[in-house]
């Protein structure tokens, strides 16, 4: 026999009231903890995905949109920018790394990203099967894409226009899978990667086949349309497998290029076998930029934004802005959860106060049997903390389970499920809050138990 056993016996004696109070507390705790888990996971993920990317450079428009499209692949990009302008950026001494991305197509909802091998390296991804692309129309699948689509090295697929499912098919220009990446936990797992040339090629073919449809779709989707030169002759020129990977190619070519020619100049037809020249008229969607020096943070965005064609957006700043917006909603939910916890504390208080009326004879006989005042108070306190702990544990377990299974009830938030496996420091705050609620609810009953007149109670009984 000990106080805990006694407290448990009392709790068991009023199962319904006990259960209700525990449940109420558990719901409050679960709500708060779930908000914490998801918000922190979101924050962590946003920061993690953006790690190493100091700036996203793309077309003028909403900077947040540029970040969402360029880093999180969650929104359509504002538009396209001339490749030449991005190449200029490479020559800037403030810049360590520039990774151009060409967006615009997707495969069953997964985005097809035309880029350079540096993109794969940036996320620390390595091929688990096959190799990276070496020629146009070769594609490498992120692990999640490969898993869900069932495609493997050697399979072919066609992209569809636009970033969501249901766009027009680029049936004439199928991709061939040459590699599958190992899982990284980054957004790259959910992307289809290919050379920038592939995206250009697809759209040149597309333009040739169905220029009208394409233009219409592009308008409808406000969409990112990567390739500009409209010519039916284009596929032949870029298909040469002997071409070096785009990464190397662009590095080598950049210095030889004349100044940017701007986004107009669809004169590729006259230069079928002059690829270098052709690149001058090309566009990409945006570029991920890494600073060479912290000083760049001061000078570079301003310099870029001063140019007419380009906009520079800082992931750190934009995600902070995004989280502020999200934070308001989280605060509302948190406030509601606090209300629930307060209500459960009140319920506990009422239950304990009522129980004390019935139980004062028990407390009196315990005193007569040798229990000290503090022991009697201890039983009440323990019982309350006991219930609080139960509600707390139940709530925390529920929160983690809900977070773990969030994909099944909130598919858009599925990636946040990994947050369920982490214990956040703020959860200690929830622990303290629930226990404090339990103790607070006991204060008045405990004081009355402490002051109990044993002799009078026994005589009265």
Partner 1 sequence: MFSLRGIEHRYGASTVLDVAAWDAAPGEHWLLAGASGSGKSTLLHILAGLTTPTAGTVIVGGTDLATLTGSARDHWRGRTVGLVPQRLHLVGALDVRDNLRLAQYLAGEPDGPERIQGLLESVGIGDLGHRYPRELSQGQAQRAAVARAVVNRPALLLADEPTANLDDAHAAAALELLRAQALGAGATLVVASHDARVRSLLPHVRALPVLVEAAA
Q: Which residues bind partner 1 (CB under 8 A)?
A: 1-2, 5-6, 9-10, 12-13, 361-362, 364-375, 454-455, 458-459, 461
β-partners of residue 138 are: 176
**Closer CB to partner 1, 63 or 445, in the complex:** 445
* Those residues with Cβ within 8 angstroms of residue 89's Cβ, 6 or more apart along the chain or in another chain: 57, 95, 98, 287, 289, 304
What is the token pair recorded at 318?
């934009």
Q: How many helices (H) and strands (E) does the chain have?
A: 16, 13
**Closer CB to partner 1, 256 or 451, in the complex:** 451
**Closer CB to partner 1, 6 or 389, in the complex:** 6
CB atoms within 10 A of CB 156: 11
**Closer CB to partner 1, 5 or 147, in the complex:** 5
Query: Least distance from C-beta 25 to partner 1, angstroms?
Result: 22
How many residues does this entry show for the chain?
461
Q: What is the distance between the alpha carbons of residues 164 and 334, in angstroms, rounded to a whole number?
A: 34
**Closer CB to partner 1, 339 or 458, in the complex:** 458
Query: Least distance from C-beta 386 to partner 1, angstroms?
Result: 13
**Closer CB to partner 1, 365 or 397, in the complex:** 365
Query: Least distance from C-beta 370 to partner 1, angstroms?
Result: 2
Query: Least distance from C-beta 14 to partner 1, angstroms?
Result: 9
Q: What is the distance between the alpha carbons of residues 55 and 300, in angstroms, rounded to a whole number?
A: 9
Please give the torsion angle defined by the CA atoms of residues 174, 180, 186 and 187, in that order, rounded to the nearest 10 degrees: 10
* Rg of the chain taking only CA atoms, in angstroms: 32
* Those residues with Cβ within 8 angstroms of residue 326's Cβ, 6 or more apart along the chain or in another chain: 39, 42
Q: What is the distance between the alpha carbons of residues 174 and 138, in angstroms, rounded to a whole number?
A: 9
Query: Least distance from C-beta 357 to partner 1, angstroms?
Result: 14
Query: Least distance from C-beta 445 to partner 1, angstroms?
Result: 16
Measured over the CA atoms of residue 436, residue 438, residue 443 and residue 444, the dihedral's sign is: positive
Query: Least distance from C-beta 443 to partner 1, angstroms?
Result: 21
Query: Least distance from C-beta 13 to partner 1, angstroms?
Result: 4
What is the token pair recorded at 166?
């249901």
CA 201 to chain centroid, in Å, comes to 31
Q: What is the distance between the alpha carbons of residues 57 and 287, in angstroms, rounded to a whole number?
A: 5
**Closer CB to partner 1, 278 or 383, in the complex:** 383
**Closer CB to partner 1, 21 or 253, in the complex:** 21
**Closer CB to partner 1, 14 or 321, in the complex:** 14
**Closer CB to partner 1, 74 or 365, in the complex:** 365
**How many Cα atoms occupy the beta-carbon half-sphere of 416 within 13 Å?**
24
Q: What is the distance between the alpha carbons of residues 237 and 137, in angstroms, rounded to a whole number?
A: 13
**Closer CB to partner 1, 21 or 31, in the complex:** 21
Query: Left (φ > 0), alpha (ψ -120 to 50) or beta: where does 164 sit?
Result: beta
β-partners of residue 364 are: none
Query: Least distance from C-beta 374 to partner 1, angstroms?
Result: 7
Going by the DSSP 8-state scheme, the letter that residue 188 receives in this structure is G
* Those residues with Cβ within 8 angstroms of residue 450's Cβ, 6 or more apart along the chain or in another chain: 373, 376, 377
Query: Least distance from C-beta 372 to partner 1, angstroms?
Result: 4
The bridge status of strand 55-59 relative to strand 286-291 is antiparallel
**Closer CB to partner 1, 337 or 376, in the complex:** 376
Q: Name which of 423, 440, 426, 338 is nearest 385 in CA terms.
A: 440
């Amino acid at each position: 026999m000990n106080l805990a056993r006694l407290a448990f016996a009392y709790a068991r004696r009023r199962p319904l009231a006990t259960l209700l109070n525990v449940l109420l507390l558990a719901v409050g705790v679960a709500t708060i903890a779930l908000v914490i888990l998801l918000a922190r996971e979101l924050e962590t993920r946003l920061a993690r995905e953006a790690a190493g990317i100091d700036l996203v450079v793309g077309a003028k428009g909403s900077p947040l949109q540029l970040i969402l499209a360029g880093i999180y692949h969650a929104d359509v990009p504002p538009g396209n920018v001339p490749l030449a302008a991005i190449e200029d950026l490479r020559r800037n001494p403030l810049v360590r790394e520039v990774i151009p991305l060409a967006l615009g197509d997707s495969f069953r909802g997964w985005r097809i990203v035309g880029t350079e091998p540096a993109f794969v390296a940036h996320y620390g991804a390595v091929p688990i099967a096959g190799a990276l692309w070496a020629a146009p129309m070769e594609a490498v699948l992120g692990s999640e894409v490969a898993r869900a689509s069932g495609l493997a090295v050697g399979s072919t697929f066609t992209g569809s226009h636009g970033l969501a499912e249901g766009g027009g098919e680029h049936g004439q220009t199928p991709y061939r899978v040459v590699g599958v990446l190992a899982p990284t936990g980054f957004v790259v797992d959910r992307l289809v990667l290919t050379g920038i040339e592939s995206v250009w090629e697809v759209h040149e073919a597309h333009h040739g086949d169905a220029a009208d449809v394409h233009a219409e779709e592009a308008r409808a989707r406000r969409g990112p349309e990567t390739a500009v030169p409209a010519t039916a002759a284009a596929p032949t020129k870029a298909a040469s497998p002997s071409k070096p990977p785009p990464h190397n190619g662009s590095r080598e070519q950049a210095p030889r290029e004349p100044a940017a020619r701007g986004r107009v100049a669809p004169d590729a037809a006259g230069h079928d076998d002059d690829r270098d020249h052709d690149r001058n008229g090309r566009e990409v969607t945006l570029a991920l930029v890494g600073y060479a020096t912290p000083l760049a943070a001061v000078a570079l965005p301003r310099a870029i934004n001063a140019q007419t064609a380009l906009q520079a957006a800082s992931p750190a700043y934009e995600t902070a802005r995004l989280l502020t917006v999200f934070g308001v909603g989280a605060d509302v939910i948190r406030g509601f959860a606090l209300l629930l916890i307060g209500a459960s504390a009140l319920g506990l208080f009422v239950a304990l106060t009522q129980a004390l009326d019935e139980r004062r004879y028990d407390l009196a006989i315990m005193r007569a049997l040798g229990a000290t005042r503090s022991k009697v108070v201890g039983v009440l306190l323990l019982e309350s903390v006991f219930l609080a702990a139960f509600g707390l544990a139940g709530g925390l377990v529920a929160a983690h389970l809900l977070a773990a299974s969030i994909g099944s009830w909130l598919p858009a938030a599925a990636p946040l499920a990994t947050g369920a496996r982490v214990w956040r420091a703020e959860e200690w705050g929830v622990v303290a809050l629930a226990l404090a609620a339990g103790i607070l609810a006991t204060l008045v009953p405990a004081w009355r138990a402490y002051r109990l007149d044993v002799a009078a109670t026994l005589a009265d009984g």
